[in-house]
Amino acid sequence: MKHFITIIVVAFFTLTMVSCNNKKEKTVQDEVESLIEQVEDLPKGTISPQKIFTIKSAYVKYINHAAGQEMTREWWFDDYGNKQFEDNYLVIMGEKAGGNALVVDGFRYNWEYDNAEGTKMKFYSAASDYENVSEKDKQRYGIEKHGYEDVAGKKCLKVTIEKPVKSTVWVWEGIPLKTISNFAGNDVLMEAVEIKTGGVDASLFKIPEDITFTDY
Identity of the amino acid at 46: T
For residue 69, is pLDDT > 70? yes
Number of H helices, E strands in the chain: 3, 12
For residue 15, is pLDDT > 70? no
Distant-in-sequence, close-in-space partners of 90: CB < 8 Å, separation ≥ 6 = 15, 18, 19, 69, 70, 71, 72, 96, 97, 98
List, for residues 70-123, the tens digit of each pLDDT value: 889 999 999 999 999 999 998 888 888 899 999 999 999 999 998 999 999 988
Report pTM.
Answer: 0.78
